[in-house]
């Protein structure tokens, strides 16, 4: 998801009069996206001056959803929900989602879904892994059918909201990487006859090694640079 300066400006003006403590509440499955996509999204929001709440590892370690999370949702202008492969497997995530939908229906809380490697139709129709997860919840909560029904309704409602569709395997291209390579090639191209040693450090936010496309691109980049600068390249 790309956050442009113009969209940020309009977002800031629309929330400047908000009384909420947070601009955004991030709902996501930690084991799926905490160390990769959600980290990048959270840092991007922070850089734009958007006050964002996301739970830490200590909060998520509890068995029951912490009251702090309900309060954070209620004090946020909007929620961004990152639906990932095992989001519906977490009763914690589904309780968050249920509260988000409640706030949306009762006070106009804004909701922006991101479908990260999942099909929205699976959420709407509750088929595939989503349906399997909900069936397991119903087996474990036979005495509380009201709760699981509330989760089903919340999933179906949010799945009907227009959002962003992201898929790691959709493309092998990394946005903006070509121009960076061209700049790097120019800086490294000191002549074919020199014997200087070039040392290149590739760094970034933690979790990039978990992204299949990112890993492939970095591996391919090293191979390209090694071939081009085979003398004295490290």
Q: Choosing from 60, 68, 96, 223, which is the catalytic residue?
A: 96
132 is catalytic: no
Residue 118 to residue 106: CA distance in whole angstroms: 28
Residue 72 to residue 50: CA distance in whole angstroms: 15
Residue 198 to residue 167: CA distance in whole angstroms: 35
Query: Quick one: tokens of 199?
Result: 């040392």
Say which DSSP state 118 is in.
Answer: S
Query: Quick one: tokens of 107?
Result: 């006070």
> What strand order describes the sheet that includes 110-116?
52-53, 22-28, 76-83, 110-116, 164-166
Residue 111 to residue 78: CA distance in whole angstroms: 6
Residue 144 to residue 98: CA distance in whole angstroms: 15
User: By the 8 A CB rule, do 153 and 188 touch?
Assistant: no
User: By the 8 A CB rule, do 78 and 109 touch?
Assistant: yes
User: By the 8 A CB rule, do 17 and 77 touch?
Assistant: no
Element (H, E) at 11: helix 5-15
Catalytic positions are 96
């Amino acid at each position: 998801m790309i956050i442009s300066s113009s969209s940020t400006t309009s977002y800031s003006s629309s929330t400047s009069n908000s009384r909420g403590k947070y601009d955004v509440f991030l709902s996501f499955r930690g084991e799926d996206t905490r160390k990769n996509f959600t980290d990048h999204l959270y840092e991007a929001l922070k850089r734009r001056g958007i006050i964002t709440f996301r739970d830490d590892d200590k909060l998520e370690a509890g068995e029951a959803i912490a009251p702090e999370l309900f309060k954070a949702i209620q004090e946020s202008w909007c929620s961004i929900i990152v639906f990932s492969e095992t989001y519906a497997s977490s009763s914690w995530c589904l309780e968050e989602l249920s509260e988000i939908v409640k706030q949306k229906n009762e006070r106009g809380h804004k909701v922006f879904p991101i479908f990260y490697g999942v099909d929205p139709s699976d959420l709407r129709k509750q088929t595939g892994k989503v349906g399997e997860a909900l069936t397991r919840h119903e087996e474990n909560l036979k005495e509380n059918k009201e709760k699981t029904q509330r989760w089903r309704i919340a999933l179906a409602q949010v799945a009907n909201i227009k959002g962003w569709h992201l898929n790691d395997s959709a493309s092998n291209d990394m946005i903006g990487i070509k121009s960076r390579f061209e700049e790097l090639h120019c800086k490294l191209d000191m002549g074919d006859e020199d014997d200087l040693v070039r040392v290149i450090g590739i760094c970034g936010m933690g979790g990039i090694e978990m992204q299949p496309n990112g890993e492939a691109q970095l591996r391919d980049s090293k191979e390209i640079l090694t071939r081009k600068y085979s003398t004295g390249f490290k």
